Each structure stands twice: as C-alpha cells, then as structure tokens.
Amino acid sequence: MKEVVVLGVGMHKFGRFPEKPVSQMGREAAFMALDDAGVDFKDVQAGFCSHVHQGMGTGLSVFGELGQNGAPVTNVEVGCSAGTRATILAAEAISRGVYDMCLVVGVEKMAGGLVGLQGAEKSYNELMGIMLFPVSVALAARRHMHLYGTTREQFAQVTVKAHKMARLNPYAHYQIPLTLEDVLNSRVIADPISLYECSPNSDGASAVLLCSKERARRYTSKPVYLVDWQCGTPVYTRGEPQLSEGATRQLAQALYDSSGLGPEDFDLVQLHDSFTPREVMLIEELGLCPEGGGGPFTMSGNTDLCGKIPVNTDGGLLSRGNPLGAVGGAMVAEIVWQLRGQAGQRQVRNAKVGLLQNSGYGGEDIMIMKV
C-alpha cells in the first residue's frame, strides 16, 4: 500500500453568492489547490466531485471549467460527509496504486430554510418530523442533559467559541462576535436548540489534491500525510431513538487501533458541529474527554484556540458555514494549513497531528493527518 499525501488545498469563501454558479466556485477552489501544490491540471489522473443538491452531471461541469484532460470524474453524494468520502475514495485509489494523483472538488449552493432528505422513502419518524435534523439533534441533546446534567449554557458556548474562531478565518461565512446571551436569547428552533446553535445554509467550494508519497517528492520536502481513515454507517434498529449518530465511537476506536495514534496525540480536531450539541457529544465519542463530560470540558475553554485540544479552529460548520458538498474539503484544508503553520492568527502552536471527523446522511468518516 502506498502512503498518501495531501499536496494542495483550496477554498472559495463560504457565504451567499446567488449570482455565481457552482462550477465557477469549484474552478476557483480547484485552481487554488493546484497552485498551492505547483501542479498542472494535465497531471491529474482522476477527479472526484462532492455535492448534495446540485443534480446529475455536476462533476463534469465543474471539471469542465478546468479544461477537460481526459481523466475520469466521479460524483459523490453522502450528505455533509460527501467531501470527506470523496477524499477517502481518492486516497484509497492512490494507496492501492490505481492513480498517483487525484483532485477532489466539493461544491454547493444551498436553498433557504430546513434541509430535508431528497429522493428517500419516508419512514414514520420522518413523516412525523422526528428525523428533521434539528429535531433529532434536539432529542439527543435533551437526553444528554437528563443523563449527565449538561446545560443550555454549555451547548451555547460552542457557538460563542465558533464565532470567535471564524473572525480569524477569511473564508468563513460568519465573522461577527456573539455573546452567550446572544445565543441563549435567539429564537428557539427545536428546544433546546436556538437559531444561533444551527449551522447556516451556505454556498461555497473546496478542493483537495492528493498524490502518492513518491509523486509528492517532486513538489515538496515537507508533505502532509493522510495517515489513516475509516468510514461507515451507524448500527441500530430501525426507528430506534439515538443519543448519538452511532458510528463515531466505533470508527474512532478502529482508527486509533489501526494507526497506533489516539486522543493524546492530536494537536487539533475538526468535527461536524452542525448543531451545538453535536460538538459536545462528539468530543466525548472521540475520546477527547470522559463520557458525559463534554459540557464542562467545553465551558472550561479546553476546545478554544489555546485550550487543551483546539476544536474547529476555522469556525466549524456553525460559523465557517455549511455548504454540504464543500464541507469535507474545507475541514481537510484547515488541518493542512494548521500542520504547515499557515493558519495565521488562528494558528495552533506546534501542530503536528490532526484528527478529522465528519458525519453525513449515509455515512460517517474519520481520518488522521500529520507532518
């Protein structure tokens, strides 16, 4: 198996761009990644395009903007984890020697309002609204509060921290400060979750260029390695209420076992904070703090930029934004910038190893990168 390197990354700012097509945003992110790596597009052997609501053929449109070079293009749709799943598919192909260089581009333009499932047969829970994303997370949050004494203030602190981080990120959708009172006093969406505890619907694009270690030697003497990865889906009985999405804990343990790395080795973490309770629960499931201790751990500043383990240093989904197909690539890009020492004012000191976790409707991905 070949070692995989993240050679280049790029982003188009997340926000609202009603007049700008996804193909143009994707092109800008892709050329940024290619320029970052010093690679010509003609050397890319395969393309992967992650998106969710853009329709059939989006990948061909995006890569067509780069000037078709004959490489195959695969569209990937796994909800919010589409970008990380596309990255894993590219990494798998490189590690097995199928390709030496792959380009992953994630794009999305989002409608307003609640994001629902498309083209899926509706279960009873979905028809009753229980499976609307803020509702399902709110149910899990209430159970977490009941079991462990977690408070609304502890959940809300996640947003306060996210907005503080995002103000240092030029690619973030939201760059405004929020206080704990601002979050708690915003209108309720699904009790106990308020408006500012929900990630925004954003437009944007991201790109990740991967290659084999051997190929990377031509371009860099300080590579960022994609060390190991796991992906999977939850295991549960249909209709059973879930305190978590079910797969994180198992996938994390499998990744730690296979890589020989664990929570004590990570200098920063990127995770899927679509709603504030998700971050509190995920840091427990990833083993970053004791089970049930996510609320106090967060409130004490342990996940801040200068905390014990910085989480979502770019503002996360809550403030950087949540253009579904582009989220995964943005998470990869942030870890790469941190490991290279290129994160500017939000730089984590002496960052060497990063953990990434991403969730989507249809799967969950987790990976480790290091220098």
Residues annotated catalytic, as ranges: 80
State yes or no: cis peptide before 223, omega within 30 of 0: no
The amino acid occupying position 330 is: A
Q: C-alpha distances in angstroms, 289 versus 93, 107, 148, 303, 327? A: 34, 33, 13, 11, 25
What's the rounded Cα separation, in Å, for the pair 343 and 302? 19
- Any idea what the Cα angle at residue 342 is, between residues 87 and 352, rounded to 5°? 70
- Long-range CB pairs of 248-255 (<8 Å, 24+ gap) are 248/282, 248/285, 248/286, 248/357, 248/359, 248/364, 248/366, 249/285, 249/286, 251/364, 251/366, 252/285, 252/286, 252/287, 252/357, 252/366, 253/287, 254/230, 255/228, 255/229, 255/230, 255/366, 255/367, 255/368
Q: What are the b/e assignments for 163-181, b being 16+ CB within 10 Å?
A: bbbbbbbebbbbbeebeee
Q: For residue 108, what are its two tokens?
A: 């999305």
What's the rounded Cα separation, in Å, for the pair 29 and 25? 6
Q: Which is nearest to 3 in space by CA: 213, 208, 169?
A: 213
The amino acid occupying position 324 is: L
Q: Crossing angle of helices 276-285/248-259, nearest 10°?
A: 40
What's the rounded Cα separation, in Å, for the pair 48 and 56? 13
